[in-house]
């Protein structure tokens, strides 16, 4: 029994499993709420084109399946293969990034931890969600992205809990993020050719980035300098250091972090590959459909053209002055790094 694969490596894994499996293989959609093919037969341009299609049918996929008694229990069956009693030994046998330390002080894995976070949010932060979700200094967010990414909590379960609070404006805003925005990312990687390259951008974004590729950068950094958090920007360095230690960053700061990589690297392509490298190495919710869609959002995916300017071209800009206008930066720099 397997989840539906979306990334290339997951599809390859399933293909290899099918080639060697000596039993029936059942695929179940548990990563998202509505199967991609049930919503659209093509890549959607933006959330506004996906929204009416998915909101029309998603309730059909929230029914809890009925349970039945299995003819044979698997609890007492013996398994052949690797010894799972010593996970450390298994990790040494695979290509595992040993330089990235486990996050143990702030996040705990598993469904119980995910449910606890959801319960806390619904009871304490939901009513402030719409007003405060964009504020890194007063964050009213679920912090469930890593649990959803790793399959530790089902998005259908989360949505059913949210639906109990409708017609609250805050519940509706949260439903939009979980149902429309998250599943737009799966639509993108499912239908796009080369979802990990700039060639997957809309034509206007590719054109404007090409036209401004030779623009003088205000600062230029190598990938190693960025990874070390060794830039002139204290706010950006703090973002890099926090994601390295905690594997998490508030979404507004994550957008700022990504936009600066675009203007500090010598070419848009190098910037994109560097962003993906750092994102997938350090974020707990990295290397999933949202990672690839959000990385390309920095370069114009699922967005519109803005006023043209240096380096960014017509891609939505973000800079340090704008960050200071929108948030209390000094307060954020002094806050608990896990927020």
pLDDT in tens, 239-256: 999 999 999 999 999 999
Question: Could you tell me which CATH class the domain 31-61+104-191 is placed in?
Answer: mainly alpha
User: In angstroms, rounded to a whole number, what is the distance separating the alpha carbons of residues 316 and 46?
Assistant: 15
User: In angstroms, rounded to a whole number, what is the distance separating the alpha carbons of residues 249 and 232?
Assistant: 20
Supply the pLDDT for residue 115.
98
The DSSP 8-state label assigned to residue 59 in this structure reads G
pLDDT higher than 90, residue 88: no
Supply the pLDDT for residue 213.
97
The two tokens of residue 151 are: 């399959």
Other CB atoms closer than 10 Å to residue 220's CB: what's the count? 11
Tens digit of pLDDT for each residue in 193-240? 999 999 999 999 999 999 999 999 999 999 999 999 999 999 999 999
The percentage of the chain sitting over the pLDDT mark of 90, rounded to a whole number, equals 83
Q: Is 191 exposed, middle or buried (0-12, 13-18, 19+ CB in 10 A)?
A: middle
pLDDT higher than 70, residue 132: yes
Q: Please state, rounded to an integer, the average pLDDT across all residues of the chain.
A: 93
Residues 189/292, Cβ–Cβ less than 8 Å = yes
The domain locations on the chain are 31-61+104-191, 198-334
Mean pLDDT, residues 52-71: 90
Supply the pLDDT for residue 131.
92
Supply the pLDDT for residue 339.
59
In terms of pLDDT, which residue wins out, 217 or 69? 217
Mean pLDDT, residues 40-64: 95
Tens digit of pLDDT for each residue in 249-296? 999 999 999 999 999 999 999 999 999 999 999 999 999 999 999 999
Which CATH architecture does the domain made up of 198-334 adopt?
A: Orthogonal Bundle (1.10)
Query: Token pair 């990414």 is at which residue?
Result: 149
Model's pTM, two decimal places?
Answer: 0.92
Tens digit of pLDDT for each residue in 153-184? 999 999 999 999 999 999 999 999 999 999 99
Residues 245/336, Cβ–Cβ less than 8 Å = no
Supply the pLDDT for residue 83.
78
User: In angstroms, rounded to a whole number, what is the distance separating the alpha carbons of residues 64 and 267?
Assistant: 49
The percentage of the chain sitting over the pLDDT mark of 70, rounded to a whole number, equals 99
């Amino acid at each position: 029994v397997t989840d539906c694969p979306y990334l290339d490596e997951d599809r390859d894994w399933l293909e290899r499993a099918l080639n060697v499996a000596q039993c029936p293989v059942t695929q179940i959609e548990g990563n998202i709420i509505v199967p991609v093919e049930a919503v659209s037969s093509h890549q959607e341009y933006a959330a506004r084109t996906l929204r009416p299609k998915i909101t029309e049918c998603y309730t059909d996929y929230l029914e809890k399946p009925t349970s039945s008694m299995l003819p044979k229990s698997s609890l007492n069956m013996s398994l052949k293969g690797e010894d799972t009693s010593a996970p450390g030994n298994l990790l040494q046998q695979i290509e595992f990034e040993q330089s990235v330390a486990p996050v143990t002080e702030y996040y705990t894995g598993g469904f119980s931890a995910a449910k606890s976070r959801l319960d806390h949010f619904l009871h304490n932060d939901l009513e402030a969600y719409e007003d405060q979700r964009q504020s890194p200094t007063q964050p009213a967010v679920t912090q469930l992205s890593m649990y959803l990414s790793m399959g530790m909590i089902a998005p259908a379960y989360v949505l059913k809990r949210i639906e109990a609070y409708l017609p609250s404006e805050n519940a509706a805003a949260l439903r939009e993020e979980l149902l429309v925005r998250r599943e737009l990312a799966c639509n993108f990687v499912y239908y796009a050719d080369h979802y990990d390259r700039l060639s997957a951008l809309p034509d206007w974004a590719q054109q404007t980035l090409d036209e401004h590729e030779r623009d003088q950068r205000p600062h230029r950094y190598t990938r190693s300098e960025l990874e070390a958090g060794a830039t002139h920007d204290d706010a950006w360095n703090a973002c890099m250091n926090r994601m390295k230690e905690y594997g998490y960053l508030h979404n507004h700061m994550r957008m700022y972090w990504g936009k600066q990589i675009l203007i500090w690297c010598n070419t848009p392509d190098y910037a994109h590959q560097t962003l993906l490298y750092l994102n997938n190495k350090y974020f707990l919710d990295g290397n999933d459909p949202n990672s690839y869609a959000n990385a390309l959002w920095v370069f114009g995916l699922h967005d519109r053209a803005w006023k043209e300017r240096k380096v960014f071209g017509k891609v939505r800009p973000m800079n340090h002055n704008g960050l200071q206008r929108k948030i209390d930066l000094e307060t954020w720099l002094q806050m608990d790094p896990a927020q």
